[in-house]
Amino acid sequence: MSGQPADQQVLLGRPTVGEEELAAVAEVFRSGWLAGAGPACRRFEERFAQVTGTAHALTTSSCGAALFLGLKVLGVRPGDEVIVGDYTFPATGHAVLQAGAKPVFADIRPDIFSADPAAIEALITPRTVGILAVDVAGLPGDFDEYRAIADKHGLWLFEDAACSSGATYKTRPAGSLADLAAFSFHGRKGITAGEGGALVSNREDLIAHARKLHTYGIEPAISREGSGTLPIPEFHELGWNFRLSDIQAAIMGVQLDRLPDLLAARRSVAKRYHEAFADVDQLTAPVELPDREHPWQAYLLTVAPEVSRDALALRIREQGVQCNFGTYASHLQPVYGEQQPLPVSADAFRRQLAIPMHAELTEAEVDRVVTTVREAVNALA
């Protein structure tokens, strides 16, 4: 880590929050309903469904909870296989294990790092029940191809849109590209309440079932507010407490207001990075595709094989610029047991470097990142 004080470092990620979020939280305090699945959650769900181009949304305590709930309502059972895009934080594969199924990891495209459609189709067996496709760093993968494969083999399609708020694919919003989609509101995401998530779908039956499961197996208490009787819920299946608090939902309502400006700021930073690193032979900038809009949850440089990514990262950190590896080649993680080699994903795992990307970056900070990275590369090349 850098020896510089935290306030002198260029941060890898930073949320944009302020007085508007504080005012929204104060309103929840005055309402008296701070718990989960309350009025603020319902208001945010209605708005988030519109933003994601879907008919229904459910707030959850995390994206991991949303992924797990989605798999449960899709009917995943022990013995099932779920094909998962390999290059992702292991929460994706964890959700499959937690649902009792086996994740089967698919290798990725070498340019945008989402699952290669041909790799997906080659993995389908009689035990395959669905495809869990990951939007790496927020950029949607090849969803028309994924859908065609799913329909051909009678599979469901689930979008891990953890990083994708504000992204689009062929003009369609992330979230509307599959049978279900899961989002994250973690502190490093494009919009955030610190933690939290959401599950969205056009299928009312799936979201209604997930709504019961996320409240121990019954409808949330707000559904019984104002009843002229004394309804006593019955528990017919096992559920969990995966609710988002109304405090977090109020913050997310303000974050949705901010979303266009946050996206514009991140895209401006990405443009400056593209230009600054275009002539650095040892670095490959992330790809932008003309048929989809990137939300730039992260900016992942790919380091040439002759330069040590790890040595580069340490040198950059020494100068007070935060950085990290990209994300995980999930098939290499011991928790998943023996997996087939996936060379493209393994290579990305070894060579990708995340540099500061957030809406609060100043021009001076971007210049400092660029100078620091270029100097570090020159020193190691």
Give catalytic residues, as residue numbers.
Answer: 189
Cα–Cα distance for residue pair 134/28, rounded to 1 Å: 34
Query: How many CB atoms within 10 Å of residue 117?
Result: 20
Q: To which residue do tokens 């070894």 refer?
A: 350
Q: 85 by DSSP, 3-state: which?
A: strand
**Best CA proximity match to 137, nearest among 165, 116, 156:** 165
Tokens read off for 169: 């694919």
Distances (CA, A) of 37 to 24, 251, 254: 16, 14, 17
DSSP 308-367: -HHHHHHHHHHTTB--EE---BGGGSGGG-S----HHHHHHHHHEEEE---TT--HHHHH
Bridge partners, 103 (sequence order): 82
Burial call 91-111: b when 16+ CB within 10 Å, e when fewer: bbbbbbbbbebbbbbbbbbee
Query: How many CB atoms within 10 Å of residue 374?
Result: 16
Q: 36 by DSSP, 3-state: which?
A: strand
Cα–Cα distance for residue pair 141/177, rounded to 1 Å: 10
Residues 6+ apart with CB under 8 A from 225: none
**Best CA proximity match to 177, nearest among 134, 117, 118:** 134
Distances (CA, A) of 354 to 4, 272, 299: 20, 15, 6
Q: Which amino acid is at 98?
A: Q
Q: Residues 128, 155: contact at Cβ < 8 Å?
A: yes
DSSP class of residue 173 equals E
